[in-house]
Amino acid sequence: MNSNKQNIKLSPSRISGLESKYLLEALETNELSYYGSNVSSVEKMFKSYFNDKEVVTLNSGTSAIHLSLIMAGVKKDDEVICQSFTYCASVNPILYLGAKPIFIDSEPKTWNMCPVFLEKTINERINYGIKPKAIIVVHSYGMPCKINQIISIGEKYNIPIIEDAAEALGSSVNGRKCGTFGKFGIISFNTNKIITASSGGLIICDSISESEEINHLATQAKDSKTHYQHSKVGYNYKMNNINAAIVRAQYSILDENISLKKKIHQFYRDIFLNSEEIELQEEITGDVNSNFWLNCILINNLKNRERLIKVFTDFNIETRPLWKPMHMQPLYKEYKYYGNNVAETLFNKGLCLPSSSSLNIKELDYIKKAINSIV
Ligand SMILES: Cc1ncc(COP(=O)(O)O)c(C=O)c1O
């Protein structure tokens, strides 16, 4: 038993210190609804962050994907292509609409959607007489996917891309931020993300008319009458001024968090540099910039993977398997999958390591000690 046992979590938030100020202001001014100075400030800050694109704050990344699908015109029985290697929230909104997911495998470099299988699948579905209505692509763990190739394919076949950048706030490709490539981009401010609203999300879109329609849908779609009149189904999806207080404060440490994440990535790089058995997820080229939301490794020998998990458990350090691909999930077993089992291999070999920007030197030393006790 280790007498200095610590308890290290995978990705807890890092508090800026400004949260209580904005929360208190909201309470004192009785601005508790989805209007208020925090909501307006957050929308203004992210509009500027995303190079003057339009943004709408929502209560979660999941609702942002749901509304993006509605905006893309997805309806019952439509097919939506989606990356299989992801969290269920990328895909579940397809089922909310009664539409059908078609799953695409990852490619081994970025672990994200394989552009080759994407194009093959589109052609096959078109030949079959069904043109997919939208494509959901994910920057898993903050690592940008091959977004330029995927955007070109979307343009070639005229299919809108929904870019799930829930985990990739601050990641970029050729200097352009993830979330701004697709027809719609989404961000999550869940508690484990790079900055948090406690719970919250954001849609990034091109035009004011789109952002107005998203706001309308997110606030129960009330017609512009003085009385309560509704001509379509709406949702209670807008971010409130309390959650916006937290993310407003968190925005002040976004850049700092990203540079801390990069340092943590370098910490793991140094540890695994000479390991022949363990491979750390890396950026593919200099143009690709990950926020390294989570550091993930692949362990080639499955027995050693079990041993490593046991060491971390004994040290009270939280780790987690990589995403179990959606096409392997009981919920999604009836839907089509196109691929070559790359995502399945990632699931079998992978492990997410603690990566919070709040990790201190003592905790990092402790993690290193755990790893060195076996690697
Ligand atoms: C890839 C991905 N997509 C979507 C979501 C949904 O975000 P939220 O939890 O804010 O609903 C998350 C995070 O939870 C995620 O990791």
Start and end residues for every CATH 3.90.1150.10 domain found in the chain: 254-372
| CATH fit for domain 19-251, picks 2.40.40.20, 3.40.640.10, 3.40.50.720, 3.10.20.90 | 3.40.640.10
* Non-local CB neighbours of 144 within 8 Å, separated by 6+ positions: 110, 112, 168, 171, 172, 173, 178, 288, 289, 290
What is the distance in angstroms between the CA of the first residue and the CA of the last residue of the chain?
A: 20
Q: Whose CA is nearest to atom 8 of ligand 1?
A: 61
Ligand 1 atom nearest the C-alpha of 60 is 10
Rounded to whole angstroms, the Cα distance separating 217 from 80 reads: 21
In whole angstroms, give the CA distance from residue 90 to residue 79: 15
Q: One digit per residue, pLDDT tens: the chain, 375 residues?
A: 455 678 999 999 999 999 999 999 999 999 999 999 999 999 999 999 999 999 999 999 999 999 999 999 999 999 999 999 999 999 999 999 999 999 999 999 999 999 999 999 999 999 999 999 999 999 999 999 999 999 999 999 999 999 999 999 999 999 999 999 999 999 999 999 999 999 999 999 999 999 999 999 999 999 999 999 999 999 999 999 999 999 999 999 999 999 999 999 999 999 999 898 999 999 987 799 999 999 999 999 999 999 999 999 999 999 999 999 999 999 999 999 999 999 999 999 999 999 999 999 999 999 999 999 987
Tell me which of 83, 87, 194, 247 to substitute to probe ligand 1's pocket, judged by most ligand atoms within 8 Å of the beta carbon.
Answer: 87
Q: Separation of 345 CA from ligand 1 center, angstroms?
A: 22
Contacts of 130 (CB under 8 A, 6+ apart): 79
- Say if CB 130 and CB 93 are below 8 A apart: no
Q: Whose CA is nearest to atom 7 of ligand 1?
A: 61
Atom of ligand 1 nearest to the CA of 189: 10
Cβ neighbourhood burial of 55 (10 Å; 0-12, 13-18, 19+): buried
CATH number of 254-372: 3.90.1150.10
**CA-nearest residue, atom 14 of ligand 1:** 190
Q: How much distance in Å is there from the Cα of 230 to the middle of ligand 1? A: 29
167 CA closest ligand 1 atom index: 16
